[in-house]
Structure 1
Amino acid sequence: MTTSARQRSTVSVSVTGLGMITPAGIGREATWAGVRTARSTAATDPELKGCPVDFSCRIPDMTPEQGRIGGGKAWRMGRFTQLAVLAAREAVADAGLDPASWNGARVAVVIGSGLAGAAHLETQTLRHHQGGPDLVSPTLVPMLIPNMAAGEVSADLGAHGPSLATETACASGATALAIARGLLRSGACDIAVAGGTEAAVTPVIATGFARMGALSGRVAEPGLASRPFAADRDGFVIAEGAAVLVLERTADARARGRRGYARLAGAGLTSDAHHPTAPSPGGEHAEAALRAALAEAGLSPADVDHVNAHGTSTPLNDRTEAELIARVLPHGPSVTAPKGVLGHSLGAAGAVEAALTALTIRDSRIAPIANLGSSEAGSAPGARPGFDIDCVTGSVRAQRVEVAVSHSFGFGGHNVVLVLTAP
């Protein structure tokens, strides 16, 4: 089956299944409920004891190796892979699909991760230094390499189509969704299982981020540390998590009676080509990604009702993003930033936030930003001093959303913007 360029331009892609495992809860509905409370999940982390920043956002009561994976397979998987497998299972079941009966040759898997098996590498390096090569696990390489999440999800689901891993730092999960959408539109597959996963909350990784000044230093009050767009924000909170979305061509989904949560109507990808960790001054290349995504969806900036912001709670990134939103979307769409509750799950964040955006469209509810008080309001409802954007604060806002954009930006200058529309 091939698809011409003209046909591709009219192919609509729908989100028909969601799976999430985050610090707010295990499962999509638990995560969505937790995000709507606007209560941070950050807490002191015993595994980070002695680190400059000793708190994180961890998944509660999550031990995938203890019966959740099954089949005696968990031992060979890094935690980031385990999370991906479990999120993918939930997403596929939510979509009403049965891997036992589908045509696996027409199913693609695309999973992104920023640091992949860094946690396993850290523990195995310590074992090597302390006891020599005989203590190094033979599973080191398969538990380390970033493609293994996609590989194990493919094996678990019997998906024999394209199996890809994306690595664009904190934009990895969003990049995976953009690539998966392209595979569907090109005719390379009929179903795409795509998302992001991360489990790299370790002493060395956390210390590395702290040493570069990226993490919040509020060690005495971790629950107040992640505060996107707040005037006194001072860095992000490191987190773990995974989200997987099932994508199908809208016509195919409807043929089997599925309306879907939303349509993935456009994707824009650009590069700052500026600096390893800092955004390009002025955010012109992130703006280009936003405009490209909207153009691909056949929409204008004035059509946007809602923005799911990257909103890391870092001084420079939040300022650049807020200025971008105010400049390109001056009509003032509502803005939320889930990292206030969930922390920053790095390579998983873009997929988590795309899934939350789909739930926002489904429920006509905007989750408030944690740790951002209405007393900071500026000229627009919920605006921050110097930020003329409509941040949702305090409580959930009822709002019908027809068009939403989800921003993801990553170290290395990666910019990814996804456009989701009502089904």
Structure 2
Amino acid sequence: MSSQHSEIEIGGIGAVTGYGWGREVLWDGLVSGMPAAVPEEGHGPGRDRTAWVARVPEGGDPADGPSRFARAMRAAAREAILDAAAQGWVAGRRVGLLHAVVLGEVDLWREFYQAREGRVPVRDYLALMPSTPMSTLMKEFGFHGPAMNVSAMCASGNAGLLTAKAWLDSDVVDDVVFVATDLSATPENVLHFERLGVAITDAGPLEACRPFQEGSRGFTMGEASVGMVLSRGLADPYARLLGGSMSHDAHHVTSIDPDLTEVRGCVREALRRSGVRGRDIRYLNAHGPGTAQCDRAEARVCAELLAEQTSIYSVKPLVGHCQGAASAVEVAVAGLGYRHGFIPAPPRRAPGDRRLLDGRTPVAGGLTLKSSLGMGGHNSAVVLGPPS
């Protein structure tokens, strides 16, 4: 196994989630052990049904755009940039921007087609474009590196991190601002995920979503935007990104290949590219959506490829499944956990995997494997470590 690898560092974090606006609001919500989701009316046929959703509340700076999406994206990115700068980061000449997004501006597009029938001023039409919040952010900070969207369903966060690392390794940029945004929990989208049999709307998250435990039925829908500054040589980073890998099942539009050949291969390759072995992994920060097939796949891979003492946790019962921003939220949680010295794991509610953490757990150093299995066959895994 090759030990050749490079590392990059996560030097700033910003977050907008169902808990509210700000990184510390996210952390305080996680530490409380209470889910971000609340019952909302107006879901389902006739809009007469209540559903549990971890929706980003109204807020942000109106100057950042006309929608929650644009305001959340720029707020998360700005918080990460200012956080990194406060810790000594000085932007290089070539700062790139990566934005992980699957469904963008769903509220504005719905209004464009349904309420306004396409009759909008050009300025309002430009606000619909995914390039617009990126362009305004680049202008605000005077960044001149490449700016690009990344999309790999629920694995988009990991995809963005690996793209950022490739840019840095190839000397395309000096630094990367990475943002993952998904504010798509509209009644229509929630309803269709429920019809797919994976989203649970009729019970509280800690009862319905029990990753790696008996009685788990699926996940609660969530929303988030998370920003990070990625660079090298930072004085006080949250975490190190050692490496990772992605693959595709080429099997089914929603289901995981039951043979798990590509999932295993992805994890093996992530370990190899990070210069570590399975026995070096202390924590599996799992995709963990609480669905039977995903939990079964990750539990098997953990048992087969990682250490006997590897602990598992998933924060989806708390933050919800944030779709295109899911793995970015969970990477941020790992970084904040290293900084604060503990993992804010959800409390266990039922018998389950013996390796599953139960509530707040001190971090005993060690490496974290962050896995994310995106709908349609997107496999991804990245290896994170505490600051050197």
TM-score (norm 2): 0.91
Partner of 2:114: 126
Shift of 1:139: 5.2
User: What secondary structure, in the 3-state scheme, does the structure 2 residue paired with 1:169 have?
Assistant: coil
Q: Is the 8 A contact 2:69 2:104 kept in 1?
A: yes
1:390, 1:155 → 2: CA distance? 47
Which residue, out of 159, 180, 190, partners 1:206? 190
Tell me whether 1:59 sits opposite 2:65 in the alignment.
Answer: no
C-alpha distance after superposition, 1:119-162 (max 9, x if no partner): 3222322215xxx443x564565444444443343233221101
Which residue, out of 314, 339, 343, partners 2:320? 343
Letter in 1 for 2:356: C
C-alpha distance after superposition, 1:46-76 (max 9, x if no partner): 343626672201234x322xxx25xx3423x
Segments of structure 2 that go 5 or more residues without pairing to the other structure are: none
C-alpha distance after superposition, 1:327-364 (max 9, x if no partner): 21141312111111010110111111111111222233
Tell me whether 1:249 sits opposite 2:232 in the alignment.
Answer: yes
Shift of 1:298: 0.7
Shift of 1:274: 0.9
The 1:415/1:144 distance shift into structure 2, 3 A limit, reads farther
Partner of 1:74: 65
Segments of structure 1 that go 5 or more residues without pairing to the other structure are: 1-8, 377-383
Q: Is the 8 A contact 2:35 2:317 kept in 1?
A: yes
Q: Is the 8 A contact 1:197 1:348 kept in 2?
A: yes
Letter in 1 for 2:254: T
Letter in 2 for 1:89: R
User: What secondary structure, in the 3-state scheme, does the structure 2 residue paired with 1:54 have?
Assistant: strand
Q: Is the 8 A contact 2:52 2:204 kept in 1?
A: no
Which residue, out of 147, 154, 158, partners 1:174? 158
Shift of 1:302: 0.2
Q: Which has the higher strand share?
A: 2
Partner of 2:135: 151
Shift of 1:310: 0.5
2:243, 2:338 → 1: CA distance? 16
Tell me whether 1:48 sits opposite 2:43 in the alignment.
Answer: yes
Q: Is the 8 A contact 1:53 1:215 kept in 2?
A: no
1:178, 1:245 → 2: CA distance? 13
Q: Is the 8 A contact 1:25 1:59 kept in 2?
A: yes
Tell me whether 1:234 sits opposite 2:217 in the alignment.
Answer: yes
Letter in 2 for 1:27: G
1:40, 1:137 → 2: CA distance? 40
Which moved further from structure 2: 235-244 or 38-47? 38-47
Shift of 1:225: 2.7
C-alpha distance after superposition, 1:150-197 (max 9, x if no partner): 334323322110101001111112211110111111111111101311
1:200, 1:277 → 2: CA distance? 18
Tell me whether 1:391 sits opposite 2:365 in the alignment.
Answer: no
The 1:222/1:420 distance shift into structure 2, 3 A limit, reads closer
Shift of 1:33: 2.4
User: What secondary structure, in the 3-state scheme, does the structure 2 residue paired with 1:231 have?
Assistant: coil
Tell me whether 1:274 sits opposite 2:244 in the alignment.
Answer: no
Partner of 2:207: 224
Letter in 2 for 1:242: S
Letter in 1 for 2:164: A
The 1:93/1:195 distance shift into structure 2, 3 A limit, reads same
Partner of 2:345: 368
1:322, 1:180 → 2: CA distance? 28
Q: Is the 8 A contact 1:88 1:193 kept in 2?
A: yes
Partner of 1:108: 96
Q: Is the 8 A contact 1:108 1:163 kept in 2?
A: yes
Which residue, out of 346, 368, 375, partners 1:404? 368
The 1:51/1:400 distance shift into structure 2, 3 A limit, reads farther
The 1:133/1:74 distance shift into structure 2, 3 A limit, reads closer
Which moved further from structure 2: 283-292 or 340-349? 283-292
Shift of 1:231: 1.4
Shift of 1:214: 1.8
2:189, 2:378 → 1: CA distance? 20
The 1:312/1:140 distance shift into structure 2, 3 A limit, reads farther
Letter in 2 for 1:106: R
Tell me whether 1:87 sits opposite 2:105 in the alignment.
Answer: no
Q: Is the 8 A contact 1:84 1:153 kept in 2?
A: no
The 1:102/1:195 distance shift into structure 2, 3 A limit, reads closer
User: What secondary structure, in the 3-state scheme, does the structure 1 residue paired with 2:143 have?
Assistant: coil
User: What secondary structure, in the 3-state scheme, does the structure 1 residue paired with 2:199 have?
Assistant: coil
Letter in 2 for 1:356: V
Q: Is the 8 A contact 2:97 2:148 kept in 1?
A: yes
Q: Is the 8 A contact 1:110 1:176 kept in 2?
A: yes
Q: Percent identity?
A: 29
TM-score (norm 1): 0.84
1:175, 1:102 → 2: CA distance? 23
Q: Is the 8 A contact 1:193 1:245 kept in 2?
A: yes
Tell me whether 1:303 sits opposite 2:295 in the alignment.
Answer: no
2:302, 2:91 → 1: CA distance? 42
Letter in 1 for 2:245: G
C-alpha distance after superposition, 1:95-125 (max 9, x if no partner): 1169xx845x410010101211223222322
Mapping of residues 319-358 of structure 1, within 5 Å: 319-358=296-335
Number of corresponding residues: 383
The 1:32/1:11 distance shift into structure 2, 3 A limit, reads same
The 1:192/1:52 distance shift into structure 2, 3 A limit, reads same
C-alpha distance after superposition, 1:241-286 (max 9, x if no partner): 1111101123xx2xxxx13111111111111111111111132212
